[in-house]
Structure formats: structure tokens, C-alpha cells
């Protein structure tokens, strides 16, 4: 039992990271209708920059973290300006192909600069576990979960109450009508890429602190797909829940498969199995919006 509780907690922490990355994915999809296949690589970029700052340049971790956020903003701006803006007005499939290309470019750049070996972050938080209801939890896990939840809360409030957040939702619904309100949709696109890069970067830093990083980190993006599709491509709450569900499911299924079937590696597919099942029942995902139809 204890073992499964541990798996559950692991799942929640990893799920929290999935949720963060899914948030970035959903923001881009909502504002620009672009399915961003480079989301995992944005995670990787953030993780490596933070690693580089702390280990190679000996910047204190907190500063390195903040500088990583700054870097993510710049990365978002650059990607939007160089790769996406020239494609405004082109077909969706071209834009999606560009994001796939972007993922290759980012991955290669990271390998070029940092190589393919696994890198380990310095220990930031104490290794001594905290006990929550008798279950030991590493502080870094707790911090990861709290940070994810906090970021999620911030963005939810942003989209609900700030003028810019409301404008982003308006742009997501109808770009031309948003333009007619005086909303500069190019700025909105740039902003959505910035947000996506920042949340992904944070996800990357957290992951690095837990597991260390290597150049395969980008495949995390693949895990985020089930999460967002599960939640509904355009729903923030869906992204949060989808991420958590995928995180917990893959850990629990993995444990169960090992115990009862003697199978390992079930982790990698569990999420997709559940995804297929859910989409058969709810094709819009758990929270995805259907078109509003007046009768």
C-alpha cells in the first residue's frame, strides 16, 4: 500500500509538470490555433539554460532561475518573430510542420552546445525527506508541486481578470473581430509564445532538479499530448487536470503492471491507452469546448 501511495505522489509531481507544459501548449493553441510540436523542446531549452547558469557560470540558483525566466521570454519572442510570424495567413498544416522543424532545430542546438550526456543539477533543496501523513516526500517534490499549482493559479487569474488575458481569449475566439477592437493580434501571438516558453522553462528547471536532464528531455512533449487532448485542447482547467491524470495514471499503471503481470515499461504507453478510451467516450476531451449553437 505504502508503495502505491508513493507512486501516487510521484504521479502528482510529474503530473504537475505535465500540467505546466500543457498550459503552454493550450495557451498557444487557444490564441493562435497552432498545435505546437516543439513544446517539449522548449522545456529542454529552459532546463539546459538554468543548468548552464548554475553549474558552468556558478550563478546562485534563485538568480539562475529568474534569468532562465528572462531567457524564456526572449526565446518566445524570437521563435514567434522568426518562425511563426512569417507564416501568418498560411495553412495550419504548414505552421504545424514549422513547429516540428523547430523542435529538431532546438534539440540539435542543445546537443551542439551541451552534448548528449546526462547532466545533474546541484542539490538546491535539502535531501532530508518531509513526512506527510507518514509518507516520506522529498522537499524538491513538494516544491515542484507547489510551484506548478502557483503558476497555474496565476495564469487562471490572468485569463479571467486582466484586460490582456481577456483580450487573448477574445483573439482566440475571433481574430478579425479582436482586431476590430484595436487588439494587436501580433502582440497577442508573441505574448502567447512567451507564456508557453516561460511555463515550459519552469517545468524544465523542476524536472532537472528531480531527475537531471539529457537531450531526450524533449520527448516529454509527447506525454503532454495525451494530457491536453484528455483535458480538451482549449481548456486551462482541462490542461491542469489532464496533466495530473496522466502523471498519476502512468505511475500507478506502471506499478500495477510490475506487480501483477511482471511487465515493465508500461509507463510509456499507459497514458495513451487511457487517452484512447476517454476519447471514445468524450471526443472533445473532458473540458474541451464544443461550438456554441443557438437554437
Q: Where do contacts with another protein occur on this chain (CB under 8 A)?
A: 89, 163, 166-167, 169-170, 172-184, 289, 292, 294
Q: Closest approach of Cβ 287 to another protein, in Å?
A: 13
| For another protein, the closer CB: 120 or 170 | 170
* Separation between Cα atoms, residue 224 and residue 17, nearest integer Å: 9
- 118 or 164: CB nearest another protein: 164
The CB-of-87 to another protein minimum distance in angstroms stands at: 14
Q: How far is the CB of 283 from another protein (least distance, A)?
A: 19
Helix (H) or strand (E) holding 3: helix 2-32
3-class secondary-structure state, position 89: coil
- The nearer residue to another protein, 33 or 56, going by C-beta atoms, is 33
Residue 98 CB, shortest distance to another protein, in Å, is: 20
User: CB of residue 176 vs another protein: minimum separation in angstroms?
Assistant: 5
Q: Between 211 and 289, name the residue whose CB sits nearer to another protein.
A: 289
Q: Which is nearer to another protein, 69 or 167 (CB)?
A: 167
Its sign, for the CA torsion 237, 242, 245, 251, is: negative
**Residue 149 CA, distance from chain mean position:** 13
Task: Say which residues have a Cβ less than 8 Å from residue 58's Cβ, sequence separation at least 6.
Answer: none
Spatial CA neighbour of 32 closest among 74, 90, 73: 90
Nearer to another protein, 72 or 235 (CB): 235
Kind and range of the H or E element at 220? helix 220-231
Q: How far is the CB of 184 from another protein (least distance, A)?
A: 4
The three-class DSSP label of residue 171 is helix
Return the closest-CA partner of residue 246 out of 270, 218, 281, 264. 270
Amino acid at each position: 500500500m505504502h508503495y502505491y501511495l508513493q507512486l501516487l505522489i510521484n504521479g502528482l509531481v510529474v503530473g504537475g509538470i505535465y500540467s505546466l507544459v500543457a498550459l503552454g501548449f493550450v495557451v498557444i493553441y487557444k490564441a493562435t490555433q497552432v498545435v505546437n510540436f516543439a513544446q517539449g523542446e522548449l522545456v529542454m531549452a529552459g532546463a539546459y539554460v538554468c543548468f548552464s547558469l548554475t553549474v558552468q557560470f556558478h550563478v546562485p540558483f534563485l538568480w539562475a532561475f529568474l534569468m532562465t525566466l528572462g531567457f524564456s521570454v526572449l526565446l518566445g519572442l524570437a521563435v514567434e518573430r522568426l518562425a511563426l510570424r512569417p507564416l501568418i495567413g498560411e495553412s495550419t498544416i504548414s505552421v504545424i510542420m514549422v513547429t516540428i522543424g523547430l523542435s529538431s532545430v532546438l534539440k540539435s542546438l542543445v546537443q551542439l552546445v551541451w552534448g548528449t550526456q546526462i547532466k545533474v543539477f546541484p542539490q538546491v533543496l535539502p535531501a532530508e525527506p518531509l513526512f506527510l501523513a507518514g509518507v516520506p516526500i522529498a522537499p524538491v517534490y513538494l516544491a515542484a508541486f507547489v510551484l506548478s499549482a502557483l503558476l497555474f493559479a496565476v495564469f487562471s487569474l490572468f485569463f479571467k481578470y486582466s484586460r490582456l488575458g481577456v483580450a487573448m481569449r477574445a483573439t482566440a475566439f475571433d481574430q478579425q473581430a479582436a482586431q476590430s477592437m484595436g487588439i494587436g493580434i501580433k502582440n497577442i501571438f508573441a505574448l502567447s509564445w512567451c507564456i508557453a516558453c516561460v511555463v515550459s522553462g519552469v517545468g524544465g528547471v523542476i524536472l532537472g532538479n528531480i531527475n537531471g536532464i539529457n537531450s531526450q528531455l524533449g520527448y516529454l512533449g509527447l506525454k503532454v499530448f495525451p494530457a491536453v487532448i484528455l483535458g480538451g485542447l482549449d481548456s486551462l482547467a482541462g490542461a491542469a487536470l489532464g496533466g495530473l491524470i496522466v502523471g498519476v495514471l502512468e505511475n500507478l499503471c506502471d506499478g500495477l503492471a510490475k506487480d501483477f503481470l511482471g511487465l515493465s515499461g508500461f509507463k510509456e504507453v499507459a497514458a495513451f491507452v487511457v487517452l484512447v478510451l476517454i476519447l471514445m467516450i468524450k471526443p472533445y476531451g473532458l473540458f474541451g469546448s464544443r461550438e456554441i449553437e443557438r437554437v
